[in-house]
Structure 1
Amino acid sequence: MTDGPHPAEAALPPPSPRSARRRLAFVMLAGVLAIIGVAAAGYHIATRPVTLRIAVGPANSDDLKVVQALTQALNNQPHGPIRLRPTQTDSAQASAKLLGDGKADLAIIRGDLDVPKNAQAVATLRKNVAVLWVPPASKAKAKGKKAAPAITKITQLGGHRVGVVGRTEANVNLLKVILQQYGLDPAKVEIVQFPVTEAVEAIRNQKADVYLAAGPLNSKITSDAIAASMRDGGTPTFLAIDSAEAIAQNHPAYESSEIPAGTFGGAPAKPEEEVKTISFSHHIVARKGVSDSTIAIFTRQLFAIRQTLKNEFPLAAKIETPDTDKDANIPAHPGAAAFVDGEEKTFFERYSDFIWWGLMGLSAMGSAGAWFAGYLKKDERIASNSQRDRLLDLLTAARNCDSGEELDQMQTEADGILRHMLECFEHGAVEEGALTTFNIALEQFHNAVADRKALLMSMPQNLQRASAQFRAAGA
């Protein structure tokens, strides 16, 4: 009776580690492709152009012209990170409402109107000054009529008609602020508004006694309106707002300002001397929810483009940085403030958190990959242990074998086990210590086979047959 398995009952051929290697290679390739895909997607999202909706109005206004020029300049940049999409409105007030309702990312608003709570300043587009003037008296007077007293002060406006250039209600509110500062009841002043397109004709036809216009110092609308009021060689009288500081104190949206002599033409100069007045600003504001990095990039591009556009489009030269003080009338957007203060973040500073988490993710994926690789090699380790046990069984069988052919079969099987163990060792499924133990067992097996073959060759043939029959009968 044999002590071990018969060679004919040898185990099936050991599984090849190639399938495990293929699985591991596939998993590693999939992981690398996933990492590359995530990195590419992240880079695309971080660098793709951002389109900002900007509300501006009314039609044919200086604000709209500036925004159109900026839009063309930004959108024509091949790899520019910011694009603009203008939305035309009826007025600056309507633009502010769109921003407040979250339907615009940027807007051009007047600082003396109600500013949306979610608006933050990006830049000062331009400053407007209030101009109050009285046309020169006509020399053609009816005989026997006494000339009306000349208006030289704002306090004399009671009972007179004041023509306001422009249909916006904001200019009427500006006039009322001035009147109230001087103790005049706006109800006792007849206010007449003229559309910009009709202002020159209305002034020529003497539709009012005094006129108010609000715009930049170099405003063509204001200059044309003043020129239309001149007649019989006389020059207009400009009314100084001597209480400009008090108005600015009571209404933070306004500032004390001056109209330099000769601003509206010379010979004779209009005005002949510097005139004190108040001013207010038109602002580019951003919605509070727009990211700091996006607004910082837009602000940087805005001032870079301003330098290139100011020669062809002089209004662009009026753009100024926002007031970054904490007590500013309109708080500066953090992105714009970062640009102004030189604290704009670099690409790595903006995305440092994502990069850090990405590295952590890669580390975690590496650990998971190592675990999975070990898991895939688990079958190889089990197979190698099975082959080692099989070799020990062959060792026992070889010591009791009575057939040289069976010993040769055992030797062939042992060679196959050796090949499998070496492949497992090459792929890390078998450690060096385990391979050393296997080599000892393999050496013992070879010695047992050699000894058994030598014994069988020294025995007579009849004795070998008898021994085999005896063992078969005992089995």
Structure 2
Amino acid sequence: MFIVIAGLLAIIGALAGGYYFAMRPVPLKIAVGPPNSDDLKVVQALTQAFSQNHSYVRLRPVQTEGAAESAQALADGKVDLAIIRGDLNVPKNAQAVATLRKNVVVLWVPAGRGKGKKGGKITKISQLAGHKIGVIGRTPANVNLLKVILQQYGVDPGKVEILQFPVTEALDAVRSQKADVWLAAGPVNSKITTEAIAASTKDGGTPTFLAIDSAEAIAQNHQEYESADIPAGAFGGSPDRPDDEVKTISFNHHVVARKGLSESTVAAFTRQLFSVRQQLMSEFPLAAKIETPDTDKDAAIPAHPGAAAFVDGEEKTFLDRYSDFIWWGLMALSAMGSAGAWFAGYLKKDERIINTSMRDRLLDMITIARKSDSSEELDNLQSEADDILRNTLACFEDGAIDHAALTAFNIALEQFHNAVADRKLILMSMPQNLQRTGAQLRATGT
């Protein structure tokens, strides 16, 4: 019994320990940058929300210099998650978890600037040769993006002067008219882009927005880009900036996970991400742009199986994930119980054999009692029966014999007591000389 109980406790302890380790908070490192960016602020807010909600997945932000560095950190296996740009080299071990936001490309000519070669105002991208183009943001990805656009329109990137300005210096550069044309890439409601366009407005004039009419052709040649539209009035102002819908291209910022990261962990993170999105919208409107990943097989970045399971409603529950372990645990528990019972019975084997021989002795004593001619002999038999009874009860308490064996012993004991009682009545009715004669005859064997 002690062995069986020990086995039960061991199995229960193993199951409890397995549940604890399965449900304990899982920390994931996430690479995000650059410093002071909206992406970093959103990740920090997610980190705090997950911690306050005691969520299964906890985030550990790893700050980088930008999306390219975040992608490299994921490729090197230094982090579990990363915020990357879809138009950069995507690591081979990256799988999409969510689309953090959609970015649009804005090309505009400040009011009073950008005269073409013939003196007319620049209204088309094909007129940009020989001009200075300012790019907001220090990432080389924006410069590469500009070159893709120029090449689509037959403009040699070597025939334009590209000036790149950090976000912190962009407004002063726009006000100082350091470029004829400006390019910014970010969400439609980007504060940086809106302020830069406002700074390019002069003496009541309005900037001219350059449409990327070949957006669909660019998207076909470059899978990381999509055709998009900038709605009228997206950047405010009076009159509206722009005053009409503008054709452009877009690209996404993705939350990606390292390939091979636990499917259940990524599914839990994806579920948490979309559950707190509404909670963050009041403080970070950018959180409203978070979307589920593309789960198609031909997606630019393949979806992580865990994220796909969440999106498709096929996320596994605790029982789904660990049912096999629970089933095998119960089987092991049953096997251990059977083995424990057999082993316990084996240890009691000698004790059962001794008790069986005592019961046989008790049956023999019944025959002896019925033929006894001496009250003293009957008393000795009674004393021996008491010892047998004491031993039998001890065997029963130890588990060496079961209820059936104890019942059989009780029947034999009752028959023995009846035999002793009947014989004593007979001896009491016999004269003393006949009792002595009988005893002597048995002693001599006659």
> Please, which of 88, 92, 113 is the counterpart of residue 117 of structure 1?
92
Structure 2: distance between partners of 1:319 and 1:246: 27
Does 2:28 correspond to 1:57? no
Letter of the 1:360 partner, please give it: M
**Contact (CA 8 Å) 1:425, 1:435: kept in 2 or not?**
no
In structure 2, the partner of 1:361 is 332
Structure 1: distance between partners of 2:87 and 2:357: 88
In structure 2, the partner of 1:38 is 14
Does 2:362 correspond to 1:387? no
CA distances 1:200-241 after superposition (whole Å, capped 9, x unpaired)? 122222222211110111111112222222334322221111
What's the CA shift for 1:42?
2.3
Structure 1: distance between partners of 2:38 and 2:409: 91
In structure 2, the partner of 1:194 is 165
**Contact (CA 8 Å) 1:127, 1:216: kept in 2 or not?**
yes
Structure 1: distance between partners of 2:149 and 2:310: 36
Q: How does 1:322-337 map to 2 (within 5 A)?
A: 322-337=293-308
> Please, which of 388, 405, 414 is the counterpart of residue 417 of structure 1?
388
What's the CA shift for 1:66?
0.9
Structure 1: distance between partners of 2:357 and 2:130: 114
SS at match of 1:351: helix
Structure 1: distance between partners of 2:439 and 2:287: 113
SS at match of 2:276: helix
Does 2:106 correspond to 1:131? yes
In structure 2, the partner of 1:100 is 75
Letter of the 1:107 partner, please give it: A
Structure 2: distance between partners of 1:379 and 1:463: 40
Structure 1: distance between partners of 2:415 and 2:320: 64
SS at match of 2:236: coil
Letter of the 1:281 partner, please give it: N
Tell me whether 423-432 or 380-389 shows the greater mean CA deviation. 423-432
Letter of the 1:429 partner, please give it: I
In structure 2, the partner of 1:158 is 129
Q: How does 1:174-213 map to 2 (within 5 A)?
A: 174-213=145-184
What's the CA shift for 1:419?
4.1
**Contact (CA 8 Å) 1:425, 1:432: kept in 2 or not?**
no
What's the CA shift for 1:58?
0.5
In structure 1, the partner of 2:23 is 47
Letter of the 1:76 partner, please give it: Q
What's the CA shift for 1:434?
9.0
In structure 2, the partner of 1:87 is 62
Structure 1: distance between partners of 2:336 and 2:431: 60
Letter of the 1:124 partner, please give it: T
Distance 1:357 1:433, change over 3 A: closer
**Contact (CA 8 Å) 1:388, 1:438: kept in 2 or not?**
no
Structure 2 segments unaligned to the other structure (5+ residues): none
Identity between Structure 1 and Structure 2 (%): 67
SS at match of 1:208: coil
In structure 1, the partner of 2:241 is 270
CA distances 1:328-379 after superposition (whole Å, capped 9, x unpaired)? 1111122222222222233322322222222222222222233233224323
Tell me whether 305-314 or 409-418 shows the greater mean CA deviation. 409-418
Structure 2: distance between partners of 1:467 and 1:291: 89
In structure 2, the partner of 1:4 is none
> Please, which of 44, 47, 65 is the counterpart of residue 71 of structure 1?
47
Distance 1:192 1:460, change over 3 A: closer
Structure 2: distance between partners of 1:437 and 1:235: 111
Q: How does 1:209-220 map to 2 (within 5 A)?
A: 209-220=180-191
Q: How does 1:315-464 map to 2 (within 5 A)?
A: 315-391=286-362, 405-421=376-392, 424=395, 427=399, 429=401, 432=404, 436=408, 439=411, 443=415, 447=419, 454=427, 457-459=432-434
Structure 2: distance between partners of 1:95 and 1:86: 11
**Contact (CA 8 Å) 1:161, 1:208: kept in 2 or not?**
yes
Distance 1:138 1:294, change over 3 A: closer
Structure 1: distance between partners of 2:215 and 2:5: 73
Distance 1:456 1:349, change over 3 A: farther
Structure 1 segments unaligned to the other structure (5+ residues): 1-23
Distance 1:418 1:266, change over 3 A: same
Letter of the 2:138 partner, please give it: R
> Please, which of 225, 243, 258 is the counterpart of residue 287 of structure 1?
258
In structure 1, the partner of 2:195 is 224
**Contact (CA 8 Å) 1:152, 1:239: kept in 2 or not?**
yes
Structure 2: distance between partners of 1:154 and 1:430: 98
Q: How does 1:252-267 map to 2 (within 5 A)?
A: 252-267=223-238
Structure 2: distance between partners of 1:138 and 1:438: 116
In structure 2, the partner of 1:15 is none
Tell me whether 30-39 or 64-73 shows the greater mean CA deviation. 30-39
What's the CA shift for 1:127?
0.7
Distance 1:251 1:407, change over 3 A: same
What's the CA shift for 1:47?
2.5
Moved over 3 A (4+): 146-149, 388-407, 418-428, 430-468
SS at match of 2:341: helix
Distance 1:444 1:126, change over 3 A: closer
Q: How many residues align?
A: 440
In structure 2, the partner of 1:19 is none
In structure 1, the partner of 2:138 is 167
Distance 1:395 1:96, change over 3 A: same
What's the CA shift for 1:60?
0.9
